[in-house]
Amino acid sequence: MNMNESGMQTGSSFLEEIIRESNVDIRACYQCQKCSAGCPVVSAMDMYPNQVIRQIQYGRREKVLGSKSIWVCASCHTCSVRCPNDIDFAKVMDTLRHIALRSGIIAGEKDVPVFHMVFLESIKRTGRIHELSLILRFKLKTRDFLKDAGLGWQMFRRGKIKILPQVYSARREIKELFNTYEKGAAQ
């Protein structure tokens, strides 16, 4: 076991990496499974939340970062609220997604990481989502042009998809937030 700068004991380098980036001490997990029992999307996961923690503790980097679970997670924070040890597991999942993208590991879920990137790029560029350009970029990247086309047309007819993006006054501040995060992640 090693110690990180916060004085936390860590076992594997992957565990250290997750604790350092998320600032969540997952070593406190005692596998009670309350997180998994309350997760609304657990049936679609290939590894339950408590199993993700165990695999991180074992240092199984490729297995965790290549899992479907980290992309199926809906960031609802139910697990974080239910944990008796105050482990913010939703934050850990977010950290895992960022590391997976940086590492270029092939994701267990194909389209969700693409959507994740396109979504963040859109927020960074305009400060808020413009649905039409989001859909077009996503379709160009996945090359799946017909899927959900009927649904998209119905949304357009009901005015849910605007042709022009709205200008958001705090656009510059949001861009700065992204730049600050990207600089920190690169260090």
Residues binding ligand SF4 (CB under 6 A): 29-35, 39-41, 49-50, 53, 73-79, 82-85, 87, 89-90, 93
E strand or H helix that includes residue 10: strand 9-10
Closer Cβ to ligand SF4, 50 or 95, answer by number = 50
The CB-side HSE value for 78 (13 A sphere, CA atoms) comes to 14
Nearer to ligand SF4, 59 or 152 (CB): 59
> Nearest approach, Cβ of 59 to ligand SF4 (angstroms)?
17
> Nearest distance from residue 37's CB to ligand SF4, in Å?
8
Closest to ligand SF4 by CB, 86 vs 173, is 86
Pairing of strands 9-10, 2-3: antiparallel
Q: How far is the CB of 65 from ligand SF4 (least distance, A)?
A: 15
- Are 75 and 93 contacting, i.e. CB atoms less than 8 angstroms apart? yes
The least distance separating ligand SF4 from the CB of residue 159, rounded to whole angstroms, comes to 30
Q: 78 or 137: whose CB is closer to ligand SF4?
A: 78
CB 12 within 8 A of CB 60: no
Least Cβ distance, residue 145 to ligand SF4 (angstroms)? 29
d(CA 57, CA 29): 10
For residue 123, what are the contacts with CB-CB under 8 A and spacing of at least 6?
129, 174, 178
Whose Cβ is closer to ligand SF4: residue 56's or residue 127's?
A: 56
